[in-house]
Chain A
Amino acid sequence: MKEKQKESKRRPPFLSTLNAPCIELSGNRELLIEGSKGVLEYSTDSVRINTGGMLVNVSGRELNLRCISDSALIIDGFIMSLSFTV
């Protein structure tokens, strides 16, 4: 019983992950972000996306927004780095 309680304490609470974006990276060629709140900056070298709780910075070469909907977007191109600003 005690071990089970310890395990449940180690896990992050489920509700806290609801506001976080879901990011899926396919190699360094494609990035899918679900839960975006808007594009703050877009150029062929970098894209900055607001996800509510944090900013996602994608930098690389020949970056394109392949598809944008109200809550998700797909970036393709050569992704060199991915950083988060909380």
Chain B
Amino acid sequence: MLLDLLRMVRGSVEFSVSGKYPERFINITSRHRVRLWNVHRSDSRFTACMYRSDYRRIRPLARGAGVRLQVISKNGMPTMLFRYRERVGILIGACAFILSIFVMSLFIWSIDITGLETVSRSQMNDVLREHGLYIGAFKPSLDVRKLSRDVMIERHEIGWMAVNMTGSYASVEIKEEAVPPEVEDVYSPCNVKAKSDGVIVRIEAAEGETVVMEGSGVIEGQLIVSGIRTDEQGTHRLVHADARVMARTTRQASFSMSEQMKLLRPNGEDAERQMLEFLGLRLPYRVNAVDSPSAVSNTDTEVPAPLGITLPIGVVTDHVNALSEEEMILDDNSAEELLQQEARLYEAFALQNCTIESREYRLKHNDGVYTLYATYTCVEDIALSEPIGTDENTDLTPYVAPTEKKDL
């Protein structure tokens, strides 16, 4: 392999030797330290190969040995260069290619980020860009150790980071900081009170004294489970009251919308723009526009990656669809349908921790505005922990429920 490469670089000549004593020629050449290879005999002559530079100086030796040399073929790089000596364009092209490879290797072609969990990729790309790492960045000016250190200092959610450069490819490995779990306070004394008005359905008390019966109504802020326990000797003890209080509550919400609506709809007119992206620069080469003030665009980027190597060149296609504004007046049915959609979104987000037992919608139309009033009956946890002060002013008198008073 190496020998073949050397022969290609130095150039070789395949020739035939004919004459009375071809062996004599072999001996003379070897005595003059000329290497021969692939010597084949055929009838009265033989063929052999030697370096191009040696061939020039063996011609007088061949004459002395009484043999005749005939060139069969010339191979290798010097022959190729000689053949194309007048075609300057090829030489310039080859030089430009080598130069472009050298220059291009000084820039970052692609960046791969791994290990992201909570931080978004675009956010991380922006942070890296601020610190000088982006597609098209000049590689010799990058100090990857400093960059990793600065990013870790700036972004506390990143616990560890390393930037590995392989040629023009930057691989960013990230380990996010492990968030310590919240330690629940189970020792400080507290009461459980009602978060909102409702009727108690079920109380699951883990600690503390329950002071409200199931089925009774409570108002917001009312004590449900007391954190002051009294034993048989009448001694009071402060505990951390913990309970799950399921209560039936009523929630109300209203959603409004004007009867006149403006809609943006695609009118069928579209256009396509194409740009050549090279090391982060975008050069438009196909420009089209739509004749509409409103439009929506969808961008696709195609980056060639032969053999898994992402090239710094790509085609960005921008599909633009024109939108036209339409005005419509809603009737009762369509207004109710749209407002109920809003109500369902409200249920999905605002009432996600509640079990909705029933819902009631009421639509009203006043002064060109539709309003949907929604009433929900839910079952939800209304427990709210409230700490008990333990200073000298704290009243440690145990809470006595009204029912117990009656018994006394």
| Known interface pairs A42-B22, A42-B46; A67-B37 also in contact (CB < 8 Å) | yes
Expressed in whole angstroms, the Cα–Cα distance for A63 and B42 within the complex equals 11
Selected interface stretch from A7-15, A16-24, A33-41, A52-60: A33-41
Partner of A39, one of B27, B37, B40: B27
| Known interface pairs A69-B30, A70-B30, A70-B31; A41-B23 also in contact (CB < 8 Å) | yes
Q: Which residues of B contact A40 (CB under 8 A)?
A: 23
User: Closest CB-CB distance, B158 to chain A, in whole Å?
Assistant: 62
Contact A64 B40 (CB under 8 A): yes
Q: How many A-B residue pairs have CB under 8 A?
A: 47
- What 1/0 mask marks residues of chain B from 96 to 125 whose CB sits below 8 Å from any chain A CB? 000000000000000000000000000000
Contact B37 A68 (CB under 8 A): yes
| Known interface pairs A38-B30, A42-B46; A64-B38 also in contact (CB < 8 Å) | yes
| Known interface pairs A68-B30, A69-B30, A70-B31; A42-B23 also in contact (CB < 8 Å) | yes
Q: Which residues of B contact A28 (CB under 8 A)?
A: none
- For window 2-48 of chain B, which residues contact chain A by CB distance below 8 Å? 22-23, 26-27, 29-31, 33, 35-41, 46, 48
| Known interface pairs A39-B23, A40-B23, A42-B23; A69-B35 also in contact (CB < 8 Å) | yes
Expressed in whole angstroms, the Cα–Cα distance for A64 and B23 within the complex equals 13
Partner of B41, one of A44, A70, A73: A44
Interface assignment of A65: CB less than 8 Å from any CB of chain B: yes
Q: Which residues of B contact A68 (CB under 8 A)?
A: 26, 29-30, 35-37, 39
Closest to A41 in B: B23
| Known interface pairs A42-B22, A42-B23; A70-B38 also in contact (CB < 8 Å) | no
Q: Which residues of B contact A43 (CB under 8 A)?
A: 41
- What 1/0 mask marks residues of chain B from 158 to 189 whose CB sits below 8 Å from any chain A CB? 00000000000000000000000000000000
Expressed in whole angstroms, the Cα–Cα distance for A26 and B48 within the complex equals 23
Closest to A63 in B: B41
Contact A66 B26 (CB under 8 A): no
Contact B36 A65 (CB under 8 A): yes
User: Closest CB-CB distance, A23 to chain B, in whole Å?
Assistant: 17
Expressed in whole angstroms, the Cα–Cα distance for A42 and B207 within the complex equals 109
Q: Which residues of A contact B41 (CB under 8 A)?
A: 42-44, 63-64
Q: Which residues of A contact B46 (CB under 8 A)?
A: 42
Closest to B36 in A: A68
Q: Which residues of A contact B40 (CB under 8 A)?
A: 64
Closest to A37 in B: B27
Contact A64 B39 (CB under 8 A): yes
Expressed in whole angstroms, the Cα–Cα distance for A69 and B39 within the complex equals 12
Q: Which residues of B contact A73 (CB under 8 A)?
A: 30
| Known interface pairs A44-B41, A64-B39, A65-B39; A70-B26 also in contact (CB < 8 Å) | no
B residues whose Cβ falls under 8 Å from a Cβ of A: 22-23, 26-27, 29-31, 33, 35-41, 46, 48
Q: List 26 A-B contacts (CB under 8 A).
A: A38-B26, A38-B27, A38-B30, A39-B27, A40-B23, A41-B23, A42-B39, A42-B46, A43-B41, A44-B41, A64-B39, A64-B40, A65-B36, A65-B39, A65-B48, A66-B37, A66-B39, A67-B36, A68-B26, A68-B29, A68-B35, A68-B39, A69-B30, A69-B33, A69-B35, A70-B31
Known: A42-B23, A68-B37. 14 other contacts (CB 8 A): A38-B27, A38-B31, A39-B26, A39-B27, A42-B39, A42-B41, A44-B41, A67-B37, A68-B26, A68-B29, A68-B30, A68-B35, A68-B39, A70-B30
